[in-house]
Structure 1
Amino acid sequence: MPSGVNQAIIAIWVTIGLSVISALINRLLGELSVEKFIIYILLCALFCIFPYKLAKGSNPTRWIYTILIVSSILLMLGGVGTDMPKLDMIVSIVVLPIEVFAIFRLFQSEASSWFYK
C-alpha cells in the first residue's frame, strides 16, 4: 500500500474518531436525544467500512467516499445543518481540511496506480 493511501486512511480514522467524540459530548450535554445519538453512532460505524475497504484497494470505495465527502461539503456551504449543535459545526470545520487531505492523497498518481492494480 502506498504511503499516501495509508495517510488517507489514518486521516479518515481521525475524522471518524472526532465525530464519535463530538457525539458523545453532545449526548452528555443534552444536545442530542438518545435516538439521534444512536443514529449518529450507527452512521459513524457505517463510515468505518471506508478505511477498511480502502486498505483492501477498493477503487469504488475511493470514489464513493469522495462523492459523499464532496456532497457533504456542498451541503454545508449551502446552509444545510445550520441547526446542528455548535460542537458539531466546529468539528465539521476542523475535519474539513483533513477530509480534503485524505481525498487528495487517495487520488495522487501513486495511489491511483495502486487502486487500478
Structure 2
Amino acid sequence: MSSSPRGVKQAVFAIWFSLVISVLSSVTSSLAGQSSLANLSGALLIYALAAVLTIKVAKGRNWARYVYLTVTCLSLLVPVFCFDAISSIDWLTTILLSPVEVFIIYRLFQAEASAWFAGATPLRA
C-alpha cells in the first residue's frame, strides 16, 4: 500500500494529540480527587485500545476508521448522558477536543482518504 495521503497523516497526528491530552486530563482529574483510581484505570485501558486502533488507522485498515468514527460518536454522547459522573477537568477536555475530533473524522472520510483506505490510487486533478 502506498504512503498515506496528507489528510490521513494529519488525522493520525490529531488522534495521537487527542489521546495524549485525554490521558493527561484523566491523570490530572484523578490526582485532583475528581475521579477514582478505578475510573483512571478504566480510562487508561480505553486509551490503550484507542492507541492500537490509531495504529491500525495509520496502516490503512478501512475497518479501523469506521470503528474510530463509531467510538468517537459514542464518546461525544457520554457527557450528555453521564453529566454528573464526569469530572470538570474531563468535561472541559471533552469540550475542547470536540472540534479536533470533527477534524479527524473529516480528514479520514475525504475522497482521497477513502480511496487510499480502499486501496485505490486517488485521482489527481
- Common topology (TM > 0.5): yes
Q: Which residues of structure 1 form unaligned runs of 5+?
A: none
Q: How far apart are 1:73 and its partner, in Å?
A: 2.3
SS of the counterpart of 1:31?
A: coil
- 1:27 maps to 30
Question: Which has the higher relative contact order, 1 or 2, with Cα contacts under 8 A spaced 6 or more apart?
Answer: 1
* Larger-Rg structure: 2
The runs of at least 4 consecutive aligned structure 1 residues that moved more than 4 Å come to none
Q: How far apart are 1:72 and its partner, in Å?
A: 2.4
For 2:32, give the aligned amino acid: L
In 2, the alpha carbon distance for the partners of 1:50 and 1:85 equals 25
Q: How far apart are 1:74 and its partner, in Å?
A: 3.6
For 2:105, give the aligned amino acid: I
Q: How far apart are 1:70 and its partner, in Å?
A: 1.5
In 2, the alpha carbon distance for the partners of 1:18 and 1:81 equals 20
RMSD: 1.1
User: Residues 46 and 111 (structure 1 numbering): CA distance in 2 closer, same or farther, change over 3 Å?
Assistant: same
TM-score by length of 2: 0.87
In 2, the alpha carbon distance for the partners of 1:42 and 1:63 equals 20
Q: How far apart are 1:81 and its partner, in Å?
A: 2.1
Question: What percent identity do the matched residue pairs reach?
Answer: 37
Aligned length: 115
In 1, the alpha carbon distance for the partners of 2:94 and 2:77 equals 12
- 1:14 maps to 17
Q: Which residues of structure 2 form unaligned runs of 5+?
A: 120-125
For 1:60, give the aligned amino acid: W
- 1:101 maps to 103
TM-score by length of 1: 0.93
Q: How far apart are 1:88 and its partner, in Å?
A: 0.5
For 1:100, give the aligned amino acid: V
- 1:39 maps to 42
Indicate the larger mover: 64-73 or 19-28.
64-73
For residue 88 of structure 1, the aligned residue among 90, 104, 119 is 90
In 1, the alpha carbon distance for the partners of 2:82 and 2:51 equals 22
Q: Deviations over 1:52-97 (max 9, x none)?
A: 0011100000111101112222444xx2121110010000001100
For residue 48 of structure 1, the aligned residue among 46, 51, 69 is 51
